[in-house]
Structure 1
Amino acid sequence: MTKNKLARFAEMKTFPNVVEPEFREVFYKDYRLKGKWQKDFFKNDKPIVLELGCGKGEYTINLARQYPNHNFIGIDIKGARMWRGAKIALEENIPNAVFLRTRIDFITSFFEEDEVKAIWVTFPDPQPKKPRKRLISTKFLTYYQHFIQNNSPIHLKTDNYNLYHYTLSIIRENELYLLYAENDIYGVNNNQLEAIRKIQTFYEKQFLEENKKIKYVAFKLDKYKNLKEPPDD
């Protein structure tokens, strides 16, 4: 590990807008903030929105800027990347953007039933050979059912054709309510997509420079359905 990374990890431990639980605090047990994020951490009753696999935190920060009446939590395991977003949020005094460093496999340890209003998944690893590891797979959607409010939205942005169509297959197979699907958000003249285009992550900018099409899907997650994987990937 480089000295720069070590310095970032050390600095991040001093950030009041970063939560870094130890493994023993979440493995097969509930974390101390579960069900208490609004009251004990944000000190308000604003709705909570998650960004999963937040990377450098650009989306979390910009959503927080756009929607000051919501609380945003960016979640990732890679602390050296997360440091950037957390530092910007502190420097710019963005109190409704915070960061949680953990594996998303442990996410049910952190949030209580109906505690989360919406979820964003921005440019996740498409996992071409391991569909069950995709953050939009039925495995993970089942995790989200434990804490998201019923029929609240899941948002996906990706450059990956297969992940985009896999998500649409999940929606069809489980008869979930599709809010929006567009396979090239910059190639259509649609004002409804303006807020989606307005925020660009580090990776999104790279993909656009490579002339890749950016795709967007939004759907409502029925928390009471027994979800099934589509028959073909």
Structure 2
Amino acid sequence: MARKKLMRFKWNDEVHNLFQPEKDNYKFYKGNWKEYFKNTNPIVLEVGCGRAEYTTGLAALNPDVNYIGLDIKGARLWKGSSLSIEAGLTNTAFIRTKLQNLEEFFEPGEVKGIWITFPDPKPRESEAKLRLSGLRFMNIYRRLMPQGGKVFFKTDNRILFDHTLEVLKEPSLKISNLVFTHDLYQSDLLAEHYGIQTTYEKTYLNQGVSINYLKFDFLPL
């Protein structure tokens, strides 16, 4: 196992599509991701991407959109990075960072969409500011998408989901077109997840747990 980790860390250090603190170009492309991707296509993020099932899955389906997966765990990012290269995907990138630092990598208006897929629910009240669908992060997403943008959220955790719905009532977020379901696989929104399932999602489905899903648009400021 230690050898596998060393090989993955070496990969992360050398591969071109993964940005981490040890690299000189770690924050180089802020405001200028078109130089990395060599195009001006829209940028969509998967925050807390884990094994990056959505980053890689959506990138394969939508070659005219650039997808960037972000996570703090290098071993998880290795999976998405290596899958992208094996599949010949040129419209993906990965960043190792704490997600509260998103604005160190993107300028306002540079992001057109964000997927939040099965984040840690952070159930303790003392952890509320770390919930990726909480108000702190929604305000970050809002600042990255001042000209409008879409947010998609999937979770098995009903408490976190209902908390998120309350957060979205905050008038300053200026959202529209909110739709949601407490049981994605029994709703007419099912096609919207493109048949992509995370590892966590598969586990929960096998246990008979319902999957919550919502999407909304940020109105232009």
Instruction: Give the alignment's TM-score, normalised by structure 2.
Output: 0.91
Matching of residue 183 in structure 1 with residue 167 in structure 2: no
Q: In 1, distance between residues paired with 2:121 and 2:184?
A: 19
Matches within 5 A, 1:1-233: 2-22=2-22, 31-38=27-34, 40-129=35-124, 130-174=127-171, 176-188=175-187, 190=188, 192-196=189-193, 198-222=195-219, 224=221
Q: In 2, distance between residues paired with 1:24 and 1:132?
A: 30
Q: In 2, distance between residues paired with 1:22 and 1:145?
A: 29
Instruction: Give the 3 Å change call, closer, same or farther, for CA 157–50 of structure 1 in structure 2.
Output: same
Q: In 2, distance between residues paired with 1:149 and 1:164?
A: 24
Cα RMSD of the aligned pairs, angstroms, is: 2.0
What amino acid is the match of 1:150?
A: Q
Instruction: Give the 3 Å change call, closer, same or farther, for CA 145–176 of structure 1 in structure 2.
Output: closer
3-state SS of the aligned residue for 1:34?
coil
Q: Deviations over 1:101-134 (max 9, x none)?
A: 1111111110011000000000000111122110
Q: CA contact under 8 A between 2:113 and 2:150: conserved in structure 1? A: yes
3-state SS of the aligned residue for 1:194?
helix
How many percent of aligned residue pairs carry the same amino acid? 39
Match of 1:228 in 2: none
Deviation at 1:24, TM superposition (A): 10
3-state SS of the aligned residue for 1:216?
strand
Q: In 2, distance between residues paired with 1:96 and 1:71?
A: 5
Instruction: Give the alignment's TM-score, normalised by structure 1.
Output: 0.86
Q: Deviations over 1:166-204 (max 9, x none)?
A: 11111223363243101101123x2x4313150101111
Instruction: Give the 3 Å change call, closer, same or farther, for CA 194–170 of structure 1 in structure 2.
Output: same
Q: In 1, distance between residues paired with 2:120 and 2:180?
A: 19
How many residues are paired up?
A: 217
Q: In 1, distance between residues paired with 2:195 and 2:61?
A: 10
Q: CA contact under 8 A between 1:18 and 1:99: conserved in structure 2? A: yes
Q: Deviations over 1:7-43 (max 9, x none)?
A: 21111222111111349988xxxx32110111x2101
Q: CA contact under 8 A between 1:75 and 1:104: conserved in structure 2? A: yes
What amino acid is the match of 1:107?
A: L
Q: CA contact under 8 A between 1:20 and 1:102: conserved in structure 2? A: yes
Q: CA contact under 8 A between 1:117 and 1:149: conserved in structure 2? A: no
Deviation at 1:149, TM superposition (A): 4.0
What amino acid is the match of 1:46?
A: N
